[in-house]
Copies of this chain bind each other. A is one copy, B any other.
Amino acid sequence: MKLSIDHKSAVPLHIQAETLLREMIKEPEYQAGKLLPNEVDLAKILAISRTTLRQAINKLVYEELLVRKKRLGTKVAQSKMSSKSMNWLSFTQEMQARGIPIKNYELHVSWVYPDDYIANFFDIKTEKKIMKLERLRGNADEAFVYFVSYFHPRIGLTGDEDFKKPLYEMLENEHSVVANLSKEEISARAADKLIAGKLEIDPGSPVLFRKRFVFDQGDRPMEYNLGYYKAESFIYTVESRRNS
């Protein structure tokens, strides 16, 4: 882990400072209400202006990772709303962690024109095709989840990648794209004909539906993922702590 800032890098200084602060507050010495060095000093240490440093701090303050107090200083907030387990494990990794061997029932790559919704999320034009990945997965006995993923063209996927490997690992190793932030929307749905067919359930019966918006290091959109989970086969767990 680097403790300093590279003034020659193309990465903006306030972004570098931001990631550096994120690393910093993960360290044991900064956990639990400890104070950061004051802004003036820290700016001097990092060799950036106070304004630039504040820009970085502000972001973490907004995310409620840091709390500012006049005269007292800036302290690390109580860790909050940590959505446990599930979130940063890919499906493959999670199943492996539970000792369940995965079976890919279907794996299909295609190139499609994004609809308005997707184009808007990716901030691209609807006239250019993007990669669509459909996967039907489960254990040895049955398929219990159907995934549909769309990827930002920036990543440069060819379609020849090995999608049997853990997806995010592959993206990181082969395309240098790291998933950093995900926003998910979970709801219950009735399975339509397509989904019912894939999961071998009756149309109209319940599925857990998850939309997932994935962002990379620079908080740029990188993947849009739809997951249809057979009911009963999947439970989403969230653990959150009050932060007042």
Q: Which A residues lie at the B interface, using CB under 8 A?
A: 26, 58-59, 62-63, 78, 81-83, 87-88, 120, 178-190, 204-209, 229, 231-232, 234-244
Contacts and interface: CB of A to CB of B under 8 A. Distances in A.
Contacts of A59: 62
Given A81-B87, A205-B206, A207-B206, A187 B236 contact: yes
Given A182-B240, A237-B183, A239-B183, A188 B207 contact: yes
Given A83-B240, A180-B241, A181-B241, A189 B188 contact: yes
Number of copies: 2
A218 to B, nearest CB: 13
A82 B209 CA distance: 17
B242 A181 contact: yes
29 contacts: A26-B243, A78-B120, A82-B240, A83-B239, A88-B243, A180-B242, A181-B239, A181-B240, A182-B239, A182-B240, A183-B238, A184-B237, A184-B238, A185-B235, A186-B238, A187-B231, A187-B234, A187-B236, A188-B188, A188-B207, A188-B234, A189-B231, A190-B206, A190-B231, A204-B204, A204-B205, A206-B206, A206-B207, A236-B236
Contacts of A120: 78
Contacts of A179: 242
